[in-house]
Amino acid sequence: MVLVFCEQREGKLKKVAFEALCVGYAIAEKRGGELAAVIVGAGIKDLAAEVVKFGVNKIITVDDPSLQFYTPDGYAGALERLCREHKPHTVVLPSTVMGKDLGATLAARLETAIIPDCTALEFDESGNPIMTRPVYAGKAITRAKAPSANPLIITMRPRAYSAQPENDKGAEVVAGDVAPAELRTKVAEIVKAVIKTVELTEADIIISGGRGMKGPENYPILEELASVVNAAVGASRAAVDAGWRDHQFQVGQTGKVVAPALYIACGISGAIQHLVGMINSKTIVAINKDPEANIFKVADYGIVGDLFQIVPMLTAEFKKQKAQA
Ligand SMILES: Cc1cc2nc3c(=O)[nH]c(=O)nc-3n(C[C@H](O)[C@H](O)[C@H](O)COP(=O)(O)OP(=O)(O)OC[C@H]3O[C@@H](n4cnc5c(N)ncnc54)[C@H](O)[C@@H]3O)c2cc1C
């Protein structure tokens, strides 16, 4: 069996859940065994209907008020019990903040191997997954396999694998054993930051601002462009360290790794630690007044100039295009 953890927040499945299911499907096809989707949370039973069309044979819901918020104890406990019961040969999770924490905790509890933060999947001649993963801030790429791991745990980077529904196999929906252990962590309250635009890892378009933005008061020009093209607004670490943007918006080695269809870097020099977080974007546009800036080496389109002139021009042009469409 391949067991796929389908991440949900506030009763909504994340895109990465469907991507992870497609990775799981490919592995189950190659190595054999059923494909099981696991959804953990409180009041999440209805979400089963959203994953049926991804070629799953079984959907296991672990539904309990104690699992309303993510806690390592609660979620890893639920997955550990499922692994001990169903004995999957592979467990797939998304490489999100939750998935990374959960995957590592689960691997430790099951005393097994984890290949984290993968970007591609292949198979050896025996059908064992060979996982590609960037290391040393993306300076090198490794290909890893762990055929003797039982189960093998994999976390897959968001957007590294596309989510194509396979087929509806009429999966049975079963309730997983809740048996909540005494949770050592209790989430008292979640205070949400007000995000006016799309969430970074889910966005098709990201517009990021760096030190060239000069200050927090200038980010509304990026937000305005973002609202016209339905994009998320990201930042370099320089902007985050300066206190201009919250860390949740940071792209890079110590921030989020993103791979949108379009990444527009504004006033960002292109340090390796930033590039590692966005290099897999399908199209990269850089706006920088320094023609020698490193970002131009990875950009598909480069605009040498002052972002304070160029960004408003882009916004006006996109508004015009939208009005005409
Ligand atoms: C261990 C470690 C981890 C790190 N992790 C990250 C990470 O996760 N993410 C990250 O981003 N960085 C990270 N860094 C920091 C990284 O090395 C760089 O310092 C940082 O990315 C620089 O940010 P920046 O490009 O915004 O600033 P700068 O390098 O200062 O570049 C600013 C750019 O703005 C341009 N500019 C200025 N004014 C204008 C204007 N009006 N119009 C157009 N262009 C203009 C300049 O020409 C310049 O190229 C990390 C560093 C270390 C050591």
Question: Is the pLDDT assigned to residue 178 strictly greater than 80?
Answer: no
Angstrom distance (rounded) from CA 206 to CA 201: 9
**Which residue is closest in CA terms to ligand 1's atom 4?**
273
Instruction: Tell me the average pLDDT across 296-304.
Output: 98
Tell which atom from ligand 1 comes closest to the C-alpha of 270. Answer: 25
Ligand 1 geometric centre to CA of 314 (Å): 22
Q: What is the per-residue pLDDT for 151?
A: 97
Q: Tell the CATH topology of 2-175.
A: Rossmann fold (3.40.50)
Ligand 1 geometric centre to CA of 143 (Å): 30
Please tell me the least confidently modeled range out of 21-35, 52-66, 107-121, 173-187. 173-187
**Which residue is closest in CA terms to ligand 1's atom 50?**
273
Ligand 1 geometric centre to CA of 55 (Å): 43
Ligand 1 geometric centre to CA of 208 (Å): 11
Task: Look at residues 251, 243, 289 and name the one whose alpha carbon lies nearest to residue 271.
Answer: 251
Query: How deeply is 186 buried, as exposed, middle or buried, from its count of CB atoms within 10 A (0-12, 13-18, 19+)?
Result: exposed
Q: What is the per-residue pLDDT for 180?
A: 63
Please tell me the least confidently modeled range out of 37-41, 132-136, 174-178, 201-205. 174-178
Instruction: Tell me the average pLDDT across 1-5.
Output: 98
Q: What is the per-residue pLDDT for 310?
A: 98
Residue ranges of E strands in the chain: 2-5, 8-9, 12-13, 35-41, 58-63, 90-94, 114-118, 120-123, 129-135, 140-144, 152-156, 172-175, 205-209, 232-235, 262-266, 283-288, 301-304
Q: Give percent of the chain above pLDDT 70.
A: 98
**Which residue is closest in CA terms to ligand 1's atom 43?**
288
Q: What is the per-residue pLDDT for 184?
A: 87
How sure is the predictor about 315, in pLDDT bands with cuts at 50, 70 and 90? very high
Same fold, 2-175 and 200-324: yes
Ligand 1 geometric centre to CA of 269 (Å): 5
pLDDT, the chain, mean = 94
Mutate to test the pocket of ligand 1, among 206, 233, 236, 289 (most ligand atoms within 8 A of CB): 236
Please tell me the least confidently modeled range out of 89-93, 212-216, 254-258, 291-295. 254-258
Residue type, 125: E
Angstrom distance (rounded) from CA 116 to CA 134: 10
Ligand 1 geometric centre to CA of 191 (Å): 29
**Phi-psi domain of 136 (left: phi exceeds 0; alpha: psi -120 through 50; beta: other):** left
Q: What is the per-residue pLDDT for 202?
A: 84
- Tokens 């290391």 sit at which residue? 135
Ligand 1 geometric centre to CA of 253 (Å): 12
Instruction: Enumerate the domain spans of the chain.
Output: 2-175, 200-324
Question: Do residues 256 and 240 lie in contact, with contact meaning Cβ atoms separated by under 8 Å?
Answer: no
Tell which atom from ligand 1 comes closest to the C-alpha of 294. Answer: 49
Higher pLDDT, 239 or 190: 239
Please tell me the least confidently modeled range out of 13-22, 154-163, 216-225, 312-321. 154-163
How sure is the predictor about 196, in pLDDT bands with cuts at 50, 70 and 90? low
Phi, psi of 222 (to 5 degrees): -75, -40
Q: What is the per-residue pLDDT for 162?
A: 85
Task: For residue 3, give Cα distances in angstroms to 12, 23, 109, 251, 312.
Answer: 19, 11, 16, 30, 47
CATH number of 200-324: 3.40.50.1220
Burial profile 17-51: b = 16 or more Cβ within 10 angstroms, e = fewer:
bbbbbbbbbbbbebbebebbbbbbbeebeebbebb
Tell which atom from ligand 1 comes closest to the C-alpha of 268. Answer: 25
Q: Give percent of the chain above pLDDT 90.
A: 82
Q: What is the per-residue pLDDT for 308?
A: 98
How many Cα atoms occupy the beta-carbon half-sphere of 125 within 13 Å? 0
Q: What is the per-residue pLDDT for 208?
A: 98
User: Where does ligand 1 bind, in terms of residues with CB under 6 Å?
Assistant: 210-212, 236-239, 250-255, 267-269, 271, 273-274, 277, 287-290, 293, 306-308
Give per-residue pLDDT as tens, 82-133.
Answer: 999 999 999 999 999 999 999 999 999 999 999 999 999 999 999 999 999 9
How sure is the predictor about 194, in pLDDT bands with cuts at 50, 70 and 90? confident
Task: Look at residues 192, 187, 180, 191 and name the one whose alpha carbon lies nearest to residue 69.
Answer: 187
Ligand 1 geometric centre to CA of 268 (Å): 5
Q: What is the per-residue pLDDT for 70?
A: 95
Q: What is the per-residue pLDDT for 181?
A: 66
Tell which atom from ligand 1 comes closest to the C-alpha of 255. Answer: 8
Query: Helix, strand or coil for residue 311?
Result: helix
Helices and strands, counts by H and E, the chain: 9, 17
Angstrom distance (rounded) from CA 14 to CA 21: 12
How sure is the predictor about 197, in pLDDT bands with cuts at 50, 70 and 90? low
